[in-house]
Amino acid sequence: MAPHYSIFLHTPEDQDTWAAHLRELRPGVALHTGGNAPLCDYALVWNPPVELLARQTKLRAVFALGAGVDSLLTVVDRLPPGVPIIRVEDAGMADQMVEYSLFAVLETLRRMREYRAAQASRQWAPAAPLARSSFSVGVLGLGTLGTPVARELARTGFPVWGWSRTPRDVPGVQCCSGTAGMREVLEHSNVVIVLVPLTDDTRGILNSTTLAMLPRRAVVVNLARGAVVDDQALLEHLDSGGISHAYLDVFSTEPLPQDHRFWTHRGVTVTPHIAAQTPVDAAARQIICKIERLEAGEEVTGVVNPHRGY
Ligand code: NDP
Ligand code: OXD
């Protein structure tokens, strides 16, 4: 039997794939796209034009087709008041974040960037090994994605420090919170992995002052949102050698502008916002499941608090 609720779908990428998965999961579902869509019960959106969303005045919930809701929250005042915003939780993204983080940490521990540079000039230059047990990693953000990253690094034998807004307890991880907690984590981070959402509180949180708290020659891995890190401050720390490398998957402007220094800086690895791509099949299943819980009057997880910003 076709479901009795209707869905408005908008995403700049993969819209046909999303539609195909939703139709496969719920054959006959009333699925609408574009400016002429009728008023629907649920919106499933990623970076929607404000006007498109504002026309949907009968929505019972808005689902973000990803984990981060910073851009959706910029249009929250155009939604009917009280409509919940619900985000994707993990759905396969945590494993990808773990892989990216392990890669950056292991490449650093095993000095692979140095050996690649040495190879380029045909230098045979063995360096002293670094011990995993004294190579600490910091994870800023201990949520759905940060916690598995911290846990896996700890399981692998790295001393791990984690930071969150409210106190958390992750076995094997030195957990800290608040402003003083951030300093403690940064001071212990040979590699710092950024997995906090972009909010009013986290914008520019890695700046000239906080980057200086890292040990000399530390590595920054930003997998969250570009604006969490102050670009100019990061470049200055890279140029001075205080920070030895930055793996950057996210940028204040995406795609990264052609003339940005990050493209050519030898201390920067640029990846095009692929650290964790939303697996459409699993995410569509998660969203349908949540819609049907809402239809049944049940609670769902992943509801965003617009005042908190995530
Ligand atoms: P969650 O909401 O599950 O976790 C967020 C974590 O950040 C929580 O531990 C939270 O603390 C902490 N946090 C929030 N604000 C602060 C603050 N002011 N000070 C300290 N800690 C804070 O988010 P996810 O783990 O699901 O996702 C994290 C981010 O990853 C997303 O918002 C998105 O921007 C990014 N992302 C990037 C992708 C990519 O491909 N590059 C893909 C997917 C997501 P507390 O535990 O106390 O609430
Ligand atoms: C997300 C993202 O937040 O893709 O899901 O960045």
The pLDDT of residue 65: 97
Band the pLDDT of 77: cuts 50, 70, 90: confident
Distance 120 CA to ligand 1 centre (A): 38
**Mind listing the pLDDT tens digit for each residue in 52-68?**
999 999 999 999 999 99
**Mind listing the pLDDT tens digit for each residue in 13-47?**
999 999 999 999 999 999 999 999 999 999 999 99
Distance 271 CA to ligand 1 centre (A): 19
Q: What percent of the chain has pLDDT over 90?
A: 97
**Mind listing the pLDDT tens digit for each residue in 158-210?**
999 999 999 999 999 999 999 999 999 999 999 999 999 999 999 999 999 99
Mutational pocket test of ligand 2: of 278, 286, 287, the residue with most ligand atoms within 8 Å of the beta carbon: 278
The pLDDT of residue 79: 87
Rg from Cα positions in the chain: 21
Please identify which of the residues 32, 110, 113, 273 carries the catalytic annotation: 273
Residue 286 to residue 68: CA distance in whole angstroms = 16
**Average pLDDT of the segment spanning 268-278:** 98
- Mean of the per-residue pLDDT values for the chain? 97
Nearest CA to ligand 1 atom 30: 224
**Mind listing the pLDDT tens digit for each residue in 119-162?**
999 999 999 999 999 999 999 999 999 999 999 999 999 999 99
Q: Is 225 a catalytic residue?
A: yes
Band the pLDDT of 76: cuts 50, 70, 90: confident
Determine the residue type at 245.
Answer: H
Nearest CA to ligand 1 atom 42: 276
Residue 238 has pLDDT above 90, yes or no: yes
The pTM of the full predicted model, rounded to 2 decimals, is: 0.98
Distance 223 CA to ligand 2 centre (A): 9
Q: Is 113 a catalytic residue?
A: no
Residue 13 to residue 269: CA distance in whole angstroms = 24
Q: What is the 3-state secondary structure (H, E, C) of the chain?
A: CCCCCEEEEECCCCHHHHHHHHHHHCCCCEEECCCCCCCCCEEEECCCCHHHHHCCCCCCEEEECCCCCHHHHCCHHHCCCCCCEECCCCCCHHHHHHHHHHHHHHHHHCCHHHHHHHHHCCCCCCCCCCCHHHCCEEEECCCCCHHHHHHHHHHCCCCEEEEECCCCCCCCEEEEEHHHHHHHHHHCCCEEEECCCCCCCCCCCECHHHHCCCCCCEEEEECCCHHHECHHHHHHHHHHCCEEEEEECCCCCCCCCCCCHHHCCCCEEECCCCCCCCCHHHHHHHHHHHHHHHHCCCCCCCECCCCCCC
